[in-house]
Amino acid sequence: MVGFLIRRTGQSIFVLFLVTVATLGMVHLFPGGPVRALLGVRATPFLINYYNHLYGFDQPFYVQYIKWVWQLLQGNLGFSDKLNLSVTTLIAQDLPKTVILVTLGTVVSLLFGIPLGVYQAVRRNSVADYVLTGISFLGYSTPTFFLGLVLVDWFAVHIHLFPPFAPQTNSIWGIISDPRALVLPVFTYAFLLYALWSRYMRSSVLDNLVQDYVRTARAKGASERRVIWGHVFRNSLVSIVTLLGLSVPALVGGAILIEAVFNYTGMGLAFYQAALNNDYETLLGFTVLVTLAAVVGNLLADIGYAVLDPRVRY
């Protein structure tokens, strides 16, 4: 395992290197250069040269890269001139909001998706299975923003049952202590994921139910409940663990459509606005963070396999 971790760490560093080089390189692909993109149509050639020198864009690419990486290693993700705040501050402001939304949405979807997926597999081809499958397809095929808008219109604008927006405060306590305002955005986020988890779980349980060890367990007199929850369930979680690992970047990447519909600026919208506004400092910082999250997520998924399946050893 130690060797595995060392190898994976080496791979991760290489991936980070490639991504950072590509990202910094792409900044220079802004038509007219990053400074013109930042300053807009009023930029004069003199001002462009002035800011190119100020930001070091007139230096060789490798010099810029080394300076930027050194800055990153010191925890400095850059300063957004467009927003007039450091990227670190922006992340500290928006990341908790995204983590809360994504975590709650994921937990809710798992709480429903996994047990219902198991139920559907055990009761496959029953009326309940068909109904739940239909709900899954509905969740999977409904555009997230559409669902959000419909929920807002029904439950907030017309019925006034819930607020139209997610909590409008930036403090974690303020967000958590306003559960009514979290209902609609969390439900919107969870509905799509529920479809994902339940379908994967159903398939995985069905695959495992025909395995020899299940026949053996039944032959040895194990109750159906023990067979399902004691043996099949754990083995069926492997695919879910994979998906969970792949969804870790969403913890930092955000859920842009839900953020937009519910007026809840998290990492997704912040990244989108940065792209629209040519805010290259923010784009660079966010890209590094999301890449890191993807690398860590994959690593956690691999470790999770080893925990779930004793046959998996690295």
Query: Which residues are near another protein by CB under 8 A?
Result: 30-33, 36-47, 50, 79, 81-85, 89-90, 93, 149, 152, 156-157, 160, 164-165, 168-170, 259-265, 269-270, 273, 276, 278
Give me the least distance between CB of 32 and another protein, in Å please: 3
Nearer to another protein, 228 or 261 (CB): 261
Q: How far is the CB of 206 from another protein (least distance, A)?
A: 41
Output 189 or 262, the one with its CB closest to another protein: 262
Query: How far is CA 298 from each of CA 244, 247, 293, 301, 303, rounded to the nearest angstrom?
Result: 9, 9, 9, 5, 9
Q: Which is nearer to another protein, 16 or 149 (CB)?
A: 149
Specify the residue, 149 or 222, whose C-beta has the smaller distance to another protein.
Answer: 149
Q: At what angle do helices 233-246 and 280-308 cross, to 10 degrees?
A: 170
Dist CA 273 CA 101 (whole Å): 19
Shortest distance, CB of residue 254 to another protein, whole angstroms?
12
Comparing CA positions, the residue from 34, 5, 49, 22 lying closest to residue 298 is 5
CA distance 176 to 101: 10
- Cβ distance to another protein smaller for residue 33 or 115: 33
Query: Distance of CA 189 to CAs 104, 140, 158, 224, Å?
Result: 9, 11, 22, 34
Minimum distance between the CB of residue 243 and another protein, rounded to whole angstroms? Answer: 28
| 95 contacts 267 by C-beta, under 8 angstroms | yes
Minimum Å gap between C-beta 50 and another protein is: 5
Question: According to the 3-state scheme, what is the secondary structure of 139-150?
Answer: HHHCCHHHHHHH
| CB 145 to another protein: min, Å | 9
Both tokens assigned to 125: 């081809």
Report the residue number, 83 or 244, with the smaller CB distance to another protein: 83
Q: Which is nearer to another protein, 235 or 273 (CB)?
A: 273
Indicate the residue among 71 and 170 with the shorter CB distance to another protein: 170
Q: Which parts of 28-126 fold into alpha helices (H)?
A: 34-39, 45-55, 61-73, 87-122
Q: Considering just the CA atoms, what is the radius of gyration of the chain in Å? A: 24
Which of 52, 61, 59 minimizes the C-alpha distance to 20? 61
Helix (H, G, I), strand (E, B) or coil at 86: strand
The nearer residue to another protein, 27 or 118, going by C-beta atoms, is 27
CB 220, min distance to another protein, A: 58
Residue 168 CB, nearest approach to another protein (Å): 3
> What's the CA gap between 173 and 153, in Å, rounded?
27
Report the nearest approach of another protein to the CB of residue 152 (Å): 6
| Cβ(47)–Cβ(241) below 8 Å | no
